[in-house]
Amino acid sequence: MNLFQKLPAHVIGQMIGMAKHRAIYAAPSINDSVAGALVEQSRDPRLQVEVILDYDEDLFRLGYGLAESVNMLRDAGINVHKEPGLRIGFVIIDDQGWAFSLPPMAVESQSSHDHINGFELTPEQIERFTQSIGIANKDEDRKESETHHPQAEIGRETLPDQEVSETTTKLNRNPPQAFNLQRQVRVYQSRLQFVEMELEGSKIQQRTIRLPKQLKQSIFDNDQEIEERLNASYKLIDGKASEKLSSLRKEAETLRDRYAPSLGKRLGRVLLSTKKKEFVYKVEDLRERIEKYCKEEQQQLQASIERSLEGLASNLAPVIAERPPQELASRCETVTEEISKEYLLDILWKVAPSAPDLLNKTKLHLTFKDVTLEMLRNPEFQQRVKQEFRYEDWLKPFNEFTAAQSKTDSHQDY
């Protein structure tokens, strides 16, 4: 027999099933194929069965083993010893032994025959292993070893009932996701990512100010119909002052559309993971140019706002002078156009934003989100991905996901 061997979980279970006088199993956790073999062997009073496991909620969520398999051992009366942080495994069957490592099922199946994951132990190593876990070699010492291993390096304490009860309750409330589906989700997470990209505050040319109530009453002479039709708002920034920012906004939209096509309003946008680095590099370049614009154009934009307010005040001043608001008329002996303009500017500057106010809100946001199981189950998502990335080979991964889902429905997760 070769030194290095392929030892999937079900093969280890088969090996345990051939034990004649002892079966010792230590690993991070355990699944049904191994636990079932140990339970079967424990029914023979002449055969010694020893089990050492880590026992932790996170282990079961990653798929090092199954909580139900541990319960199977305990229900059969097998005394399970605990070793926190145990991440390697070994099995001793009669006078033979093997060290092994079973992957968490969220990463890959424990039933795979393709991976060399163990090696055979020498008789000297087997002796050291049994000594290090306090396994009794004499029948008269065995009863004590089943409850406490005071001299052992690992597995000194029996798994407490309270810990099992608490962990079982947590897993029942929030069960782990099926491991074969987890693996398929990871495949897609390595190929696709959802992305949200937005240039906030870039449409400054659409920014308006609303006229205060006292001005609307004077300007529209309380004519509600005219007021509603005009909406009492005023475009604050002329198109020329915002041309460069509009160009940057269009560039952002082009970059987003080119790399992250939309799958529809409800599904969002997706990006090939292989293009993420290239995409982020271009986004960062654009973000730097936007920040540079905001610094360099602040003075020009402020001048545009001032011209707009000056023009508005000049145009409204004659109306205000003719029909001054009560708060102005009661505090001024004669309301002239010059006074009206000054009054208007005082009010308008209180409601108008400054250039720093506008530009400080101009930010390019980029958010990535992973593909989820729920999204993969959506037939529309699969259809739109194939449509938008028609030159990518999606047939195999989508078929594998469908197969994994069917396997889970048949309760064959590993």
In DSSP notation, 292-358 reads: HHHHHSHHHHHHHHHHHHHHHHHHHHHHHHHS--HHHHTT-SS--HHHHHHHHHHHHHHHSPPHHHH
Tokens 């079961």 found at: 60
Structure letter (DSSP) for residue 269: B
Contact 207, 353 (CB under 8 A): yes
Each residue's pLDDT, cut to its tens digit, for the chain (414 residues) gives 688 989 999 999 999 999 999 999 999 999 999 999 999 999 999 999 999 999 999 999 888 999 999 999 999 999 999 999 999 999 999 999 999 999 888 777 777 778 899 999 999 999 999 888 876 543 444 444 444 555 789 998 899 999 999 999 999 998 887 777 677 777 777 888 999 998 887 666 666 677 767 676 666 665 554 445 445 556 677 666 567 888 888 999 999 999 999 998 888 999 998 899 999 999 999 999 999 988 888 888 888 888 888 888 888 888 888 888 888 888 888 889 999 899 888 888 888 888 888 888 888 999 999 888 777 778 888 888 888 888 877 655 555 555 455 555 444 455
Please report how many Cα atoms fall inside a 13 Å half-sphere around the Cα of residue 200, on the Cβ side. 10
The single residue listed with the structure tokens 């991440």 is 87
CA R_g for the chain: 37
Do 152 and 26 contact (CB within 8 A), yes or no? no
Q: Sheet containing 89-93: give its strands across.
A: 4-5, 118-120, 96-100, 89-93, 22-27, 48-53, 80-82, 157-158
Q: In terms of CATH, what superfamily is 4-176?
A: Endonuclease Chain A (3.30.870.10)
Looking at residue 379, its pLDDT comes to 83
Question: What is the pLDDT, as a whole number, of residue 143?
Answer: 47
Domain boundaries, the chain: 4-176, 185-407
Name the pairing type of β-strands 118-120 and 157-158. Answer: unpaired
Question: CA-to-CA distance for 250 and 245, rounded, in angstroms?
Answer: 9
> Could you say which DSSP state residue 334 is in?
S
Give the rounded distance of the alpha carbon of 311 from its chain centre: 51
382: nearest Cα among 260, 258, 265, 267 = 267
**55: closest CA among 24, 38, 30, 19?**
30
The answer to whether residues 233 and 211 touch, using CB atoms and an 8 Å cutoff, is yes
Specify the DSSP class assigned to residue 275: G
3-state secondary structure at position 229: helix
Q: Which helix (DSSP H) or strand (DSSP E) does residue 92 occupy? A: strand 89-93
**Which of 92, 110, 93 has its CA nearest to residue 101?**
110
Q: DSSP class of residue 368?
A: E
- Tell me, what's the pLDDT at 289? 92
